[in-house]
Chain A
Amino acid sequence: GAGVSQTPSNKVTEKGKYVELRCDPISGHTALYWYRQSLGQGPEFLIYFQGTGAADDSGLPNDRFFAVRPEGSVSTLKIQRTERGDSAVYLCASSAGRNNEQFFGPGTRLTVL
């Protein structure tokens, strides 16, 4: 079956612009996670959804970052006024719930010039 998909695979933007990154989880998975991976680092947790609601957004670095999951399936990570330090690979994962394996997507590589 289909895995987690993310679009776009690559996004290049200019400092100060707004970007949206999309995640399509595995069908039926109730939990969805966003992570960010900078060069030479492991993935860093950003936010976790259980259904439509954000169960834990403690990893969002500041209020320029926001994520939604309005129908409990697809999620969009939104970054306002992008900065060069936002450049990273943004990973999405989904799972069937607590204590179940998280399946990762291929990531979106964001480059802020």
Chain B
Amino acid sequence: AQSVSQHNHHVILSEAASLELGCNYSYGGTVNLFWYVQYPGQHLQLLLKYFSGDPLVKGIKGFEAEFIKSKFSFNLRKPSVQWSDTAEYFCAVNAGGRDDKIIFGKGTRLHILP
């Protein structure tokens, strides 16, 4: 069965700090990988996704993630965070090409200090 592990449950950073949120998944086949974000009081929305091709994926708002197949990882990065990045971030996976259900991690709550 697929599973997703997010390393940090709660991260607190100051503005302009660099961010890296860890994500590892468990699945032996081809996968599609996602990062979703939920800003306070808003819906879940897609931040970025990897289906195939360049393992370094760029998303909205300056976020990027790198798929490292050998490590089963898909870490999220941003070089300089802003207060408006305060949100909950979810890493997610589905079995690429064969399955549509998305398996989510437990989420990382990110709090940016102004």
Contact = CB atoms under 8 A, between A and B. Distances in A.
Interface stretch (A64-72, A76-84, A100-108): A100-108
13 contacts: A33-B101, A33-B102, A35-B104, A41-B106, A43-B102, A45-B102, A48-B100, A59-B101, A93-B44, A95-B100, A99-B32, A104-B45, A107-B43
A44 B104 contact: yes
Contacts of A102: 46, 102
A3 interface: yes
7 closest A-B pairs (Cβ-Cβ)?
A42-B104, A104-B44, A45-B101, A43-B104, A104-B43, A42-B106, A42-B90
Interface of A: 3-4, 31, 33, 35, 40-45, 48, 50, 55-56, 58-59, 91, 93, 95, 98-99, 101-102, 104-107
A41 B89 CA distance: 11
Q: State which size class the interface on B falls in.
A: 20 to 34
Interface in B9-53: 32, 36, 43-46, 49, 51
Interface of B: 4, 32, 36, 43-46, 49, 51, 90, 92, 96-97, 99-107
Contacts, number: 56
A48 B101 contact: yes
Contact of B106 (A40, A48, A58): A40
A50 B51 CA distance: 21
A31 B100 contact: yes
